[in-house]
Structure 1
């Protein structure tokens, strides 16, 4: 599967709902609740500052404040926001963003250009949505085979599919981390001849799993 760049699946800045560091806590909480969010980016101009979340607001309130109304009106987002959110360049590979999301256990990673200008965010949901699209989840027929990692295997398999009028939706090669030199190939296809194709694939020496 060809590497994909962050910029191809990120949520663009102009489509995001954000607050500034000077937004009051009360207003930030209203925006979060109105949109059923858990957290939102803190942005001013073209600069990304961090994120503000319901969890962060409630924790700060119980730790620092006695009067609820005072807290909501007199404190700003900059007093509560989380600032150590990592950034990634929009030309980075999605795999790098996924690694950051997993290691830091955060809702999103901020995306910036080569000059550090905020461009948007990449979320778990965006990655998962792209993953399901690439694998053609719930579309057509699924065929998974094991093939020896030798030249020409993918061409042979593709030829069998095309000769039997299969319309390929997705074709993904997976390394199963086996000690054997094999690859797992997962195909999604539109076809009326799935049983015949399985027979042909098996006869060609591929192991169907």
Structure 2
């Protein structure tokens, strides 16, 4: 899935300028119940400002709270190493950044260098929920040897028995050699019959 299909567009975001004070940024975050915000001016993305970053900076650099809130601008404290990704790249690249960099979002930048939006943990989790068809239909999970034709065999059983497939996901357990897990969600009146036919084909239901 492409990033542009699940990102939050800049028009729907609350952002802050790098030139506003830390106090103003904190007020905006508190009013909107955000822990972090993109730092943007016009079409240019600068980084991210977060409450934990602000608190860390304050305890390290400043003794006077009021001085800190009014005299320091966002650009002094913001995190500048936020990774960026193109709107036409695959979602998996953004997931990798979110996982290893301890960040709230990945910035989406087009080929002209313009800020288009962000991709968040929530957007990714929502897509995985849809992908797995959570709480929809009936769930069939099987273990299968990772050899050619297994997916075709399984899908044929489902179609031959009038199963309406909601999602079909293949997972690599990594800990097991030459074995894959297949998770299917479907709508069917023949679930027990399908289970028996799947077992007859050598699949292990889990």
Pick the TM interval, shorter chain: over 0.9
Partner of 1:182: 179
Residue 121 (structure 1) aligned with residue 156 (structure 2): no
Alpha-carbon offset, residue 74 of structure 1: 2.6
Partner of 1:83: 80
Q: Normalising by structure 2, report the TM-score.
A: 0.92
Q: For 1:179 and 1:126, how far apart are their aligned partners in 2?
A: 30
Q: For 1:27 and 1:181, how far apart are their aligned partners in 2?
A: 56
Tell me which moved more, 112-121 or 41-50.
Answer: 112-121
Matches within 5 A, 1:1-209: 4-177=1-174, 180-209=177-206
* SS of match in other structure, 2:37: strand
What root-mean-square deviation, in Å, do the aligned CA atoms of Structure 1 and Structure 2 show? 1.7
- Corresponding residue pairs, total: 206
Tell me which moved more, 131-140 or 68-77.
Answer: 68-77
Q: For 2:72 and 2:173, how far apart are their aligned partners in 1?
A: 52
Q: For 2:87 and 2:51, how far apart are their aligned partners in 1?
A: 28
Tell me which moved more, 71-80 or 25-34.
Answer: 71-80
Gaps of 5+ in 2: none
Alpha-carbon offset, residue 107 of structure 1: 1.2
Q: For 1:8 and 1:24, how far apart are their aligned partners in 2?
A: 34
Q: For 1:111 and 1:94, how far apart are their aligned partners in 2?
A: 11
Gaps of 5+ in 1: none
* SS of match in other structure, 1:66: coil
